[in-house]
Structure 1
Amino acid sequence: MALSARLEIRQGQGLVITPQLQQAIKLLQLSNLELEAYVEGELERNPLLARDEGEAEPAPEITDGAGEARAEAALDEVAAGSAQSDLDAAHDDVSPGERATGDGSEAGEAGGAIDWSKAGKGGSFEGDGDGLDGLAAQEKSLAEYLTDQAALLGFAPAEAAVAAVLIDGVDEGGYLRLELTETAERLGCAPALVESVLTRLQGLEPTGVFARDVAECLRLQLVERDRCDPAMSALLDNLDLLARRDMAGLKRVCGVDDEDLRDMLAELRALTPRPGAAFGGEPSQPVSPDVFVREGPGGLWLVELNSDTLPRLLVDQRYHAKVSGGARSDQEKTFVADCLATANWLVRSLDQRAKTILKVSSEIVRQQDGFLAYGVEHLRPLNLKTVAEAIGMHESTVSRVTSNKYIATPRGLFELKFFFTSSIASSSGGEAHSAESVRHKIRQLIDAEAQGAGVHSDDQIVEILKAGGVDIARRTVAKYREAMRIPSSVERRRAMKEAV
C-alpha cells in the first residue's frame, strides 16, 4: 500500500472548558490564606473592586481622590500603550464571543485577564519561582513527615483521629505540648487510648519526637540504641544534678565511678535534645477554620461559615459609570470593560465558593454526627461519592472543596478530608464497617491472646469477625495484620512458649 499525504475534514464533539471556568475551579480549591493573597492582588490591580464594609452603598473612600487617581493612572497607561501587551495576552485567551461589552451585560461570562501566578497552590506554575522545580525542592515540614509515617501504622479511625491531634500538638523541636487527659476528654475517648497511640507515635523518626520533656526525649533515643540501662535511667531521672554539675551526687545515684560517668555523659552529648529542629526553618502558620460547627437546640448541629476568612468584595458601579463615561479611545473602553467583567466574575465566584463549602460541610456533619456526639470511635465510613450524590455535585468538586479547608468542632479542629474513611461490607447486609475500625478489632483480638484467650489463626479471626457482622476475606485479615507489623499465629505461639 503506497504512502501519500492527503487532507481530510473530520467532525467531532469535545468538551471545552473556558478560561473563566478553569479559574473558578482553581479558586474553589484555594485555602483561605491563598484566597486572601489572591484577592489582595486583585484589589490592587482592579480599580472597580472594593472591600464590602457592610454598608448598602459603596464606602465613600472608594470614590475619593486616591481611588480616582488610581483608575485614571491605569487609563493613562492604556492610552500610552504600556498596558497594551497585557490586554492583548488577555484577549488571546478569550474567544471573541466571550469578551465583555462596554455596558457590562456579559460580565458574568466574560471575566478579564486574571493573573494566577500569585494564587498559591491552585494557581499557575508560572511566576515567582513557584514552578515544578520549586515545588520539588521544597522540604517537608515535621508535621507532614510524621503524618506520612503515621499513615503506615494502620491506625483504627479512633486512633487515627487521636494521632492527628497529637501530631498537631508537636512543636518545632519535636516535643508534644498537649496534656493527654485533656485531649482524651476533648475527643471523647479513654485516656488509655491516647497513651497507646502516643506510645506507637514515639517510635517514628526522628527518634525522640513526641517526648514531653528532655529526659523522655533522651530516653527514647537511648532505648533505640539499647543503652538505657539502670544507671543511665537514673542519670536521666536526675538531670537537675547534671545542670548543677554535681558529679558526686550523680555518681552516688547512678552507682558508677568517674570513668563510667564520663562515658555516660559522652553518650548523652551524642544525642539530639531537639529532634524536630532539622525540619523547616519557617514558623508554622496558625490554621483558621473555614467552617464552625456548634450544637444547637434539640441536638441539632449548626454549621456556619467563618466570616473572618471570607473576602467580602463589591463592584463600584457608580465609579464605573464615571470612569467609562470619561474613556476616550477604544483601548481605554476595553480596559474598563475588562475590569468590570473581572470584578463581576470574582464577586460572583466568591459567593458560589462560600455556598459550595457550606453545602459540603453540612453534609459531612450530617454523615458524621456520631463522631461529634460520642467521640472518635463512632466515625462512619465515608467517601467522596456519597457526599457528592447527597448534594448533587461531582466528586471532583467535593474533592477540591475539602482540600486545605478546616472545620472547627466541639471535638477540635480538623481538615475536611479527615472525615473520609474506607469501608468493609457487613455480613448481615447492614451498615458497612470502617476499614480502620476492622483493623482495630483485629488488634484487640490478638492483644487478648496474652490474657489466655489462645492464639487465633487468620481463619479463626475471619470467623470471629463474620460472627460480629464483618464480611472480610482471609487475605484481607493477613494484609491488615502485616500492615500492623503483627507476626503470624505460628510466630506468636512460638513466642508465647518461649516466654513461659
Structure 2
Amino acid sequence: MALSAKLQLRQSQSLVMTPQLMQSIRLLQMTHLELARFIDEEFEKNPLLERQPTDADTGDFLQPSELLPEDAGLDKIFASDDASAETMAERLDASMENVFPDDPGMADQRAPDLAAQWKPSASSNLPSAEAFNIEDFAASRVTLYEHVREQIAFSFTDPLDRAIAYALGDAIDETGYLSTEIADISYRLGVNEAHVLKVLGICQTFDPEGIFARDLSECLAIQLKARDRLDPAMQAMLAHLDLLARRDFSQLKRLCGVDSDDLLSMLAEIRTLDPKPGLAFSTSGAEPITPDVLVQPAADGTWTVEINPETLPRILVNNEYFNEVSQYVKNTQERDFLSECLQNANWLTRSLDQRVRTILKVATEIVRQQDAFLAHGVRHLRPLTLRTVADAIGMHESTVSRVTANKYMMTPRGVFELRYFFSVALASAEGGEAHASEAVRDHIRKLVDAEEPLEVLSDDTIVLMLKEAGIDVARRTVAKYREKMNIPSSVQRRREKRAALSLRPR
C-alpha cells in the first residue's frame, strides 16, 4: 500500500462554550448572597455599572432596559461549525481577559481621593451618621484559642509549664476537646507524660467548664466537679454512658446504687451540662435564609408566584456616562477599554434578567405541580422529577437542576428549598396515583408518634398499616426512611418507653 499525504476538507459541528456563557451558567446556581458578592466585584471593575434605584427612591423597582427574548435561554445552545464559532467569538469578544479584567491598580487610584475626602480641616464637619456602618467598628468575637491563651498567660509562671500549656491549647479542637494524645505532646516537647498531665489538670479548670477533656465522660466530669456534684453514683453513670444512650435505666440503677427518684435527678443534672463547651466561641454564624420566591394565595383560588424583591439584582448600564467619556478618548487602548466595559455591562444585565425569569418559570411550574401540597399539607405532596419540570417549561434538565440548587421558596406552609418538592414515586396499593417519598416519611413519623408504650409498631406492622392507607412500600424502605428520620428500631423504642414508665413517679 502506497502512503501519500493529501488535503481533505471536512465540516464538523461542536458545542462552543464561551467564557461569558459559562459565567451565565454559574449565575444560575448562585445563591442571592453569592450573587450580591459577585455584583459588588463587577461594580469595582466596571465604571459603567451603577446601582438601580429602589422603591425608596422611585416607589418601585426599575425594569431592565434590555431583556432577552423568550427563546434565548441557556438551554437553547446550538452546535455550530468552526467558522461560525470563530465569528461568534469575534462578535462577543468573549476572552478570559474580557470576562475577568484585572486592574490591580484600582485601589491605589482611589486611595488619594479617599485621603483627600477625610483630610481634617478647620472648616470641615464630621460625616453624617449615615456615612458610618456600626458593624465596621464592632470588635471581632474572641476565639476559643485566644480565650485559652489569655488564661494560660495568667495561670503559669514557669516557662516550661507555660510552653506545655500552649502546646495543649494548640491541640484542642473547636468543640474544646483535646485532639492530640498526651504521649505525642510529651514526645514532641521532650518532657515526661506525668508533667504534661499535671499541666493538663490545671488547664481543665479554665473557662468554659469542660474544655481540655479527652472524651465526653471526662468533659461532663469536669463540669460536675466544678459544681461539686461529682459523687460516686455520678462517676458510675459517667463510666457507663453507653447504657444511658441505650436507655437501660434498670442496669444504671443497679450500677449506681440509686433508686428511680435519684436516677431521675441525676439525669436532670446531666441534661444541664454542655457536651461541646468550645462551640460557645464559634465564630461561624449561620446565615439567615432569605427566600428567593414568594408564593401567596390569590383571590381567585390560585397562587401568586413572584420573585422576592430583596433578592433582585439592582444594576443599570450608565450609557450617558459612556457617551460622555467617549468624547475624550485619546487612543485605541482607551477606546477598547470602554467598549469592553460596555459589552460586559450589557452582558451582565441580560444574564441577570434571564436568571430571574428562569427562576420564576421553574418556581411557577413547581407551584402548579404541587398545588395540593400548598392547599392541604405534606400528605398531598406529589412525586416530581427534574425532567417533568424541564419538559413542561421547555428547558433542559440540567438548567432546572442549577436553578433549584440552594434556592428557597416561601409558602403559606413555611420556607422550603426548591429541591424539597422533588421526590421519587412510591406505588399505590390500589393501583392509583403514586405517593411522594416525603409524604410517606411523614406518614411513618405520625404512626410512630401515636404508638402506645406497650404497643410499639414493628417495621412489618408499619408496612401493613401503610398498605391499608393505600401505600405499597417494602419493609426495607420503611427501615431506610425510619433511619433517615433518626427514629430508633421497635426494640429500642420499646425499651425507652418502658424505662420512661418505670421512672415515672407514682
Query: Structure 1 pair 272/474, CA: closer, same or farther in 2 (3 Å)?
Result: closer
Contact 1:407 1:413 in 2 (8 A): yes
Farther off after superposition, 400-409 or 449-458: 449-458
Paired residue type of 2:412: P
How much is the aligned-residue C-alpha RMSD, in angstroms?
4.9
SS at structure 1 position matched to 2:323: helix
> Using the alignment, how far apart are the partners of 1:18 and 1:424 within structure 2?
42
> Do the aligned partners of 1:446 and 1:456 also contact (CA within 8 Å) in 2?
no
- Shift, 1:456, TM fit: 7.3
Structure 1: runs of 5 or more not aligned: 57-93, 101-105, 118-171, 174-205, 209-213, 240-266
Q: What is the correspondence of 1:470-481 to structure 2 with a 5 Å cutoff? A: 470-472=471-473, 476=477
Q: Is the 8 A contact 1:47 1:339 kept in 2?
A: yes
Deviations 1:192-220 (A, max 9, x none): xxxxxxxxxxxxxx999xxxxx99xx99x
Normalized against structure 2, the TM-score is what?
A: 0.52
Please say if residues 455 and 492 of structure 1, whose CA atoms lie closer than 8 Å, have aligned partners that are also in contact.
no
- Find the counterpart in structure 2 of residue 469 from structure 1: 470
Contact kept, 8 Å, 2:379 with 2:442, in 1: the verdict is: no
Name the structure, 1 or 2, with higher relative contact order (CA <8 Å, separation 6+).
1
Which residue of 1 is the match for residue 100 of structure 2? Answer: 115
Pairs within 5 Å for 1:95-494: 97-99=88-90, 113-115=98-100, 224-226=241-243, 230-234=261-265, 272=274, 274=276, 277=279, 281-439=283-441, 458=460, 465-466=466-467, 468-472=469-473, 476=477
Normalising by the residue count of structure 1, what TM-score does the alignment of the two structures yield? 0.53
Per-residue CA deviations over 1:348-383 (Å, capped at 9, x if unaligned) read 111111111111112222222333223333322222
Q: Is the 8 A contact 2:19 2:95 kept in 1?
A: no
Amino acid of the structure 2 residue aligned with 1:234: S
Question: In the TM superposition, what is the alpha-carbon distance from 1:316 to its structure 2 partner?
Answer: 1.3
Q: What's 2:16 paired with?
A: 16
Indicate how the Cα distance of structure 1 residues 492 and 48 shifts in structure 2: closer, same or farther if over 3 A, else same: closer
Q: Identify the residue that residue 51 of structure 2 maps to in structure 1.
A: 51
Q: Deviations over 1:116-136 (max 9, x none)?
A: 99xxxxxxxxxxxxxxxxxxx
Assess if the C-alpha contact under 8 Å between 1:290 and 1:406 holds in 2. Answer: yes
1:33 matched residue in structure 2: 33
SS at match of 1:298: coil
- The 1-side partners of 2:97 and 2:428 are apart by 53
Judge conservation of contact 1:292–1:303 (CA < 8 Å) in 2: yes
Paired with 1:97 and 1:393, the residues of 2 have a C-alpha distance of 23
1:115 counterpart letter in structure 2: F
Number of equivalenced pairs: 328
SS of the residue corresponding to residue 304 of structure 1 reads strand
Aligned-partner SS, 2:304 = strand
Distance 1:450 1:99, change over 3 A: same
Kept after mapping to 1: 8 A contact 2:380/2:439: no
Question: Which of the pair has more CA radius of gyration?
Answer: 2
**What does the per-residue CA deviation read over 1:282-309, in whole Å, with 9 as the maximum and x for residues that have no partner?**
2222222212222221332212111122
Residue 24 (structure 1) shift: 0.3
In 1, are the aligned partners of 2:373 and 2:380 still within 8 Å (CA)?
A: yes
Q: Structure 1 vs Structure 2: percent identity of aligned residues?
A: 48
Q: CA separation in 2, counterparts of 1:319 and 1:390?
A: 43
Shift of 1:440: 5.3
State the secondary structure of the residue aligned to 2:352.
helix
| 2-structure distance, mates of 1:45, 1:454 | 64
For residue 99 of structure 2, give the secondary structure of its aligned residue in structure 1.
coil
Give the 4+ runs in structure 1 shifted more than 3 A.
4-13, 94-97, 109-112, 221-230, 273-276, 436-458, 460-489
Distance 1:311 1:442, change over 3 A: closer
Amino acid at match of 2:408: Y
Structure 2, unpaired ranges of 5+: 59-84, 103-173, 176-214, 218-222, 245-251, 254-260, 498-506
Q: 2-side partners of 1:475 and 1:236: how far apart?
A: 35
